[in-house]
Amino acid sequence: MLRARAVPSLTLVLMGTMDWLTTIIGIAYFGAVESNPFMAGLTSTSLLAFTAVKLTTTVLVALLFYKAEKTLLLAPTKTSRTFMMTRIVLRAAYILATALLLAAVVNNLIVVVRVI
């Protein structure tokens, strides 16, 4: 059974993968360009290198969030103010990261639809 604390990390992986996929489709089939300068260099050199960097980064960030949540839940006192604030910050970071990836996916889709 899927643990509830894994869901945000899986959501990050899903959104990162969708960002990668929509970027690849836009570049390969519709002449789109990557707006991130570092990643643009990779996309112009090698889509395989872009894929490796993008997907590896996505998975590593998701694993870091998962590990942070797991470590936080090992705290002996879950009612302390520090625990509560840390958990709020962690959840806010999950939400922000997911929202930014969602915005990237929506932007990629808009770029592709405009070309069609």
Distance, CA of 73 to CA of 100 (rounded, Å): 26
What is the residue range of 19's domain?
4-115
Residue 54, pLDDT > 90, answer yes
Q: Write down the pLDDT at residue 5.
A: 65
The confidence score (pLDDT) of residue 1 equals 45
6-10, 33-37, 54-58, 84-88: least confident range: 6-10
- Terminal Cα distance for the chain, rounded: 41
pTM: 0.87
DSSP character string of 8-60: HHHHHHHHHHHHHHHHHHHHHHH----SSHHHHHHHHH-HHHHHHHHHHHHHH
Q: What is the pLDDT of residues 66-103, one digit of tens each?
A: 999 999 989 998 899 999 999 999 999 999 999 999 99
Q: What is the mean pLDDT of the chain?
A: 91
DSSP H or E segment with residue 105: helix 81-115
- Number of domains, the chain: 1
Report percent pLDDT > 90 for the chain. 75
pLDDT for the residue numbered 4: 61
- What's residue 82's pLDDT? 93
Alpha carbons 8 and 62: distance in angstroms, whole number: 8
Supply the pLDDT for residue 102: 96
CA distance 89 to 95: 10
